[in-house]
Every structure is written in structure tokens, then in C-alpha cells.
Amino acid sequence: MSPKRSLAVFESVSVDGYFTDASNDMSWAYDGATDPEFAEFTAKNAEGGGALVFGRVTYQMMASWWPTPAAAQAMPEVAAGMNAMPKIVFSSSLERADWSGTTLIRTDPVAAMRKLKATAGPDMVILGSGKLVAALAGAGLVDEFQLVTVPLVLGAGRTIFDGIDGPRPMRLVEERTFRNGRIFARYAAGA
């Protein structure tokens, strides 16, 4: 029997379901997140191991922040985890990926992810990367969606489900509410 790696998506979304606002900004997801309980949850997630998966835009944003002294001072546990984990970035335009532990994949993400999931290695989680999430979810390659709902209505923006062609059933596996109003819900895909 061949090994099977799982692929999860971890995303902050607004109450109306957007992961970016109409200007492609995601900073709203961090406003008001300074709840000690939520900070502990975030730090614990960063310790979880596995491999991080990104599209180019999210990768460049993360790679410009997490290796910095400012990130280490602001969120030491999260920065340590982000920098230590293996990383995969899908991009046809990047020439190189210099963030420590990063593998650059320049081929079709759907075909490459099928191969990755069929090989031995750590489970994987996609952060941000809306276009990549939509492509992989559309191909049925996402096993789990971990969504943090932020108590905010954006009114417009992008959803991680853009381009999904029809209903996709999911099963609620876990939920947790935080004092800052955020709600974490973990769904198994294909319930």
C-alpha cells in the first residue's frame, strides 16, 4: 500500500466568506487577534509539524516576514515554526525560493500535488494562496479545510472556493470559539 499524505487548507475568512478584501488585502484578518487564548492556539498550530504549501504571492509575503528579527520578536513560537518547517511553493514565474527549507515547483500544481500526496513525507497545509486552493480543491485534492472566521463583514473580495464547479459536501470535525470572536472550524472534505 502506498503512503498517503494529507493536504489541508488553513485560512482566515470573513463572516461573508472572503479571504481577501476587494483590494486583495488580508491585513484585516490580524486586526483584533491579540487574544491570549487565540495567540496560544496560533503558536500551537505552528508547532504542528508538516509541510507548508504556498502559491507565489503568499510565499513572497511570508518569506519577507517570518525570517526577520521583527517576526521573531512579535511571535517567537510562530516564527520558529514557520522557519523550521519544510515549505513548497508553486510558481511558474519565480526563479528561486530562498526561504530556508523551500522547494520550488514550477510544473502544473494539480499534477504535482497528486504526486506529492502519493509519496512518503509529512502532511501538508496550504496557507493563503487562494488560486492554488481553488485549483487543488477543484481537483478533489484537499482533504480538510481549517477555517478561522473573523467577526467582520467585508462586502466584497475573493473566496477560496472561486472556480469550484458545484456542491462539495464537508463534515464538521472540530469547532472552537475564542474570546476575540473568532471561530475555528475544521471540516473533512468529501463527507
* 3, pLDDT greater than 80: no
Can you give the pTM of this predicted structure? 0.88
pLDDT single digits (tens) 52-95: 999 999 999 999 999 999 999 988 888 888 999 999 999 999 99
pLDDT single digits (tens) 163-187: 777 788 899 999 999 988 999 999 9
| Domain contains 135 | yes
Instruction: Output the domain CATH number for residue 171.
Output: 3.40.430.10
Going by pLDDT thresholds of 50, 70 and 90, the confidence category of residue 2 is: very low
Distance from C-alpha of 60 to C-alpha of 94, rounded to nearest angstrom: 10
* 48, pLDDT greater than 60: yes
| Domain contains 166 | yes
| Domain contains 116 | yes
Distance from C-alpha of 130 to C-alpha of 126, rounded to nearest angstrom: 9
| Domain contains 1 | no
Which pLDDT score is estimated for 7? 96
Distance from C-alpha of 145 to C-alpha of 12, rounded to nearest angstrom: 11
**Parent domain of 107:** 7-189
- Which three-class secondary structure state does DSSP give residue 69? helix
**Total domain count, the chain:** 1
| Domain contains 2 | no
